[in-house]
A and B are shown apart, each in its own frame.
Chain A
Amino acid sequence: MSLLAVRDLSVAFGGIRALDAASFTARAGAITALIGPNGAGKTTLVNCVTGMVRPDSGNVTFDGRDITGMAAHRLPRLGLARTFQHLRVFGSMSLLENVMVGLHGHVRTGMLSSMLRLPGVRRTERAMRDAALQALDFTGLSGRADEPAGLLPYGDQKRLVLARALVGDPRMILLDEPVAGLNPAETHEMGGLILALRARGVAVLLIEHDMSLVMRVSDAVVVLCSGAKIAEGAPGEVKRNPEVVNAYLGGGEEFGLHA
């Protein structure tokens, strides 16, 4: 069953067509990778799905609900969380606080009730704390819950933003280049975390350049080129698709790392 469905999405910035009637679906509980050369439109597609860019035409449905152009802050509550390529860690806050903010979509207390510190606020706070510690534990960071996030090494920050995205128990997490800038050991570890997410029943939409990771963890791969989908299927098939090889290498050479 498809959890996320993108239909005929088109976006133009001035005269440049960033997306040209792109369509694909991602199944619930599966890892779907979205790949493509630089400039293929991956970022624009992600921005359309996450409410940062409003498409000129086409639509995005999540769990049967039209979320096209929906404000980004409403998505976590619907079960769609995301991470950023440029992390967006809350550097002045502790790891625990970072992850607690990840639950904000589920918080119902407003500014006034917070100022009066009504009993519900305390309860919410405690529940948030417990959930956040569990999420930190999942990513192996619970021992450092009180450290300031800004001082964390880059690789650990990558795991922190993952914890922040998964803490609200989403149905799908969109991971924007989760291993960019990581060393091979960290990359391997992150791959394990992504698989563990799937084991928990969380679907993953993976935007990634690291082909060995994509080939290792994905259930399905969608290839984007010049704003349109050129291939979709199991990792093994996509790897041998001549059009994909052509798009990546300009023809000729063998595509794909040995994964």
Chain B
Amino acid sequence: MTAPGTAKTKGVAPASGRHPLLTPPARRFARGWLALAVAVALLPLALRSGYQFTVLNVVAVNLIVVTGLNLLMGYAGQISYGHAAFFGMGAYGSAILSATHGVDPWLAMGVSACGVAVAAAVVGVPTLRLKGNYLVMATLGFNLIVDVILVQWSEVTGGSSGFVGVPPLSVAGMSFDTDRSFYWLAWGVALLLLIPARNLVHSPVGRALRAIHDSEPGAEACGVPTASYKVQVFVLSAVFASLAGSLHAHYLGIVAPKTFDIFKSVEFVTMCLIGGMGSLWGGLAGALLLTVLPQMLGVFEEHHDLIFGAILLVMLIFMPRGVSPWLRGMAGRMRRGAGVGLGGGGAPGNGPEGREARP
């Protein structure tokens, strides 16, 4: 560092050559997205029963929630144990508007999402000033309130026994009321919503969200309006949950408050955690694992909760960053073992700890 003034411009040209517009992680995402789309398209050929479709449909709905929640938790670092409430508000909004008031299901879905956005902003402005455990408590409390309302306001919501007769979504006379037809809708929406999420992550705003995660005062001093961004991403993730809730309601035709209690919120957070926070593919891994695994463990009958818990425990011990970063680390190790991949001073970001575990 002898003459900083004169050195100012000379490194720019070759350096920007090293950073093409579609960055390696962005290209990785494009490949991964296409692979997932192909898998979704081909999978029905291998599926036998409607039950298998049902499970995968639930995976898709959960994936939508987790994708949004990951933007909030994995990227911006704000924990919410209240997303089952937004999921439920979307579901009940859709159910009540379409079944009770005869609104078109698609419109009901949109109106519910707008309502949830407003509710999330109202909840988010005061609660997102809190940090860590206090934010957890505030969002848990919010979920409890919504849960109580869903049960107690029975003339509108149907009370604890639930709300029946929600009409299915349909396009041009074709309605998504079977396991097989809904499969295409749910996975179509899930795949579609991954794109704006990915765009956000790979934008200046996405970077600012991660900066908030690492150091809020640091981000603020860099010009990031931290309070506003936190509320915005909270609203965004609530809208994702609401859309998923609407899909859920129109698919099953019945909604019940038990589906939207705090345990569901815990489940969503666990999916983020197990899959890998701050990784959109981690969301997929988490949604898949935590939806399919309990079904497969059904063979253990009354012991299945025990085994499920043990599996989660072991996973968190051996993959503390989640499945997706762990897999990436394994892949990196294997490449290096084969003698290709990274040279001597290779980027530690691709190392086994998966520091850049972002899609």
Smallest beta-carbon distance A1→chain B, Å: 23
B215:A89 contact, CB within 8 angstroms: yes
B196:A115 contact, CB within 8 angstroms: yes
How far, in whole Å, are A107 and B225 apart by their CA atoms in the complex?
11
Mask: chain A, 199-213; 1 = CB below 8 Å from B; 0 = not: 110000000000000
- State whether the Cβ of B45 lies closer than 8 Å to any Cβ in chain A: no
B8:A91 contact, CB within 8 angstroms: no
B204:A139 contact, CB within 8 angstroms: no
- 24 A-B contacts, Cβ less than 8 Å apart? A73-B223, A73-B225, A74-B223, A77-B223, A93-B211, A94-B349, A96-B19, A104-B208, A104-B211, A105-B222, A105-B224, A107-B205, A109-B205, A114-B199, A114-B203, A115-B197, A115-B199, A130-B16, A134-B12, A137-B11, A168-B223, A193-B4, A196-B4, A196-B5
Which of A71, A82, A115, A138: most chain B CB closer than 10 A?
Answer: A115
How far, in whole Å, are A43 and B341 apart by their CA atoms in the complex?
48
CB proximity to A under 8 Å, residues B334-348: 347-348
B221:A115 contact, CB within 8 angstroms: no
A residues near B11, Cβ cutoff 8 Å: 133-134, 137, 142
Smallest beta-carbon distance B128→chain A, Å: 15
- State whether the Cβ of A65 lies closer than 8 Å to any Cβ in chain B: no
Nearest neighbor of A121 in chain B, beta-carbon distance? B203
- State whether the Cβ of B314 lies closer than 8 Å to any Cβ in chain A: no
- State whether the Cβ of A102 lies closer than 8 Å to any Cβ in chain B: yes
CB proximity to B under 8 Å, residues A177-227: 189, 192-193, 196, 199-200
- State whether the Cβ of A106 lies closer than 8 Å to any Cβ in chain B: yes
| CB contact between A111 and one of B1, B4, B200, B221 (< 8 Å): that residue | B200
B9:A134 contact, CB within 8 angstroms: yes
| CB contact between A140 and one of B4, B15, B16, B19 (< 8 Å): that residue | B4
B218:A89 contact, CB within 8 angstroms: yes
- State whether the Cβ of B246 lies closer than 8 Å to any Cβ in chain A: no
- State whether the Cβ of A68 lies closer than 8 Å to any Cβ in chain B: no
Mask: chain A, 65-108; 1 = CB below 8 Å from B; 0 = not: 00000011111110001101001111111101110111111110
Smallest beta-carbon distance B342→chain A, Å: 12
**10 A-B pairs with the lowest CB-CB distances in the bound complex, closest first:** A105-B223, A88-B218, A114-B203, A115-B196, A90-B214, A76-B223, A140-B1, A196-B4, A88-B215, A117-B199
Q: A93-B214, A121-B204 are in contact. Are A101 and B224 (CB under 8 A)?
A: yes
- State whether the Cβ of B28 lies closer than 8 Å to any Cβ in chain A: no
Q: A101-B211, A111-B200 are in contact. Are A138 and B7 (CB under 8 A)?
A: yes
- State whether the Cβ of B232 lies closer than 8 Å to any Cβ in chain A: yes
- State whether the Cβ of B112 lies closer than 8 Å to any Cβ in chain A: no
Q: A72-B220, A84-B217 are in contact. Are A145 and B15 (CB under 8 A)?
A: yes
**How many residues of B are in contact with the other chain, CB < 8 A?**
48
Question: Given A92-B213, A111-B233, A129-B16, 20 other A-B contacts at CB below 8 A?
Answer: A52-B217, A73-B225, A84-B218, A84-B221, A88-B217, A101-B219, A101-B222, A103-B204, A104-B219, A105-B224, A114-B205, A116-B199, A121-B204, A125-B204, A126-B21, A134-B11, A134-B12, A138-B8, A148-B348, A150-B355
How far, in whole Å, are A157 and B181 apart by their CA atoms in the complex?
54
B residues near A121, Cβ cutoff 8 Å: 199, 203-204
How far, in whole Å, are A132 and B154 apart by their CA atoms in the complex?
57
B residues near A2, Cβ cutoff 8 Å: none
A89:B214 contact, CB within 8 angstroms: yes
Interface residues of B (CB under 8 A from A): 1, 4-5, 7-12, 15-16, 19, 21, 196-197, 199-200, 203-208, 210-211, 213-215, 217-226, 229, 232-233, 236, 278, 347-349, 355-356
- State whether the Cβ of A151 lies closer than 8 Å to any Cβ in chain B: yes
How far, in whole Å, are A154 and B352 apart by their CA atoms in the complex?
23
B222:A164 contact, CB within 8 angstroms: yes
B200:A114 contact, CB within 8 angstroms: yes
- State whether the Cβ of A15 lies closer than 8 Å to any Cβ in chain B: no
B residues near A81, Cβ cutoff 8 Å: 221
How far, in whole Å, are A193 and B7 apart by their CA atoms in the complex?
12
CB proximity to B under 8 Å, residues A120-136: 121-122, 124-126, 128-130, 133-134
Q: A133-B15, A138-B4, A138-B7 are in contact. Are A147 and B349 (CB under 8 A)?
A: yes
A residues near B215, Cβ cutoff 8 Å: 88-90
Q: A138-B7, A189-B1, A192-B1 are in contact. Are A148 and B204 (CB under 8 A)?
A: no
B residues near A74, Cβ cutoff 8 Å: 223
How far, in whole Å, are A107 and B229 apart by their CA atoms in the complex?
13
B residues near A150, Cβ cutoff 8 Å: 355
Nearest neighbor of A164 in chain B, beta-carbon distance? B222
How far, in whole Å, are A98 and B214 apart by their CA atoms in the complex?
10
A146:B349 contact, CB within 8 angstroms: yes
Smallest beta-carbon distance A126→chain B, Å: 7
How far, in whole Å, are A114 and B196 apart by their CA atoms in the complex?
8
| CB contact between B4 and one of A92, A94, A145, A192 (< 8 Å): that residue | A192
Which of B15, B199, B224: most chain A CB closer than 10 A?
Answer: B15
A residues near B224, Cβ cutoff 8 Å: 73, 101, 104-105
| CB contact between B222 and one of A76, A114, A124, A137 (< 8 Å): that residue | A76
Smallest beta-carbon distance B6→chain A, Å: 10
Nearest neighbor of B210 in chain A, beta-carbon distance? A93
| CB contact between B221 and one of A50, A98, A128, A139 (< 8 Å): that residue | A50
| CB contact between A92 and one of B197, B210, B232, B347 (< 8 Å): that residue | B210
B347:A109 contact, CB within 8 angstroms: no
Smallest beta-carbon distance A243→chain B, Å: 33
Q: A89-B215, A125-B21, A145-B15 are in contact. Are A116 and B4 (CB under 8 A)?
A: no
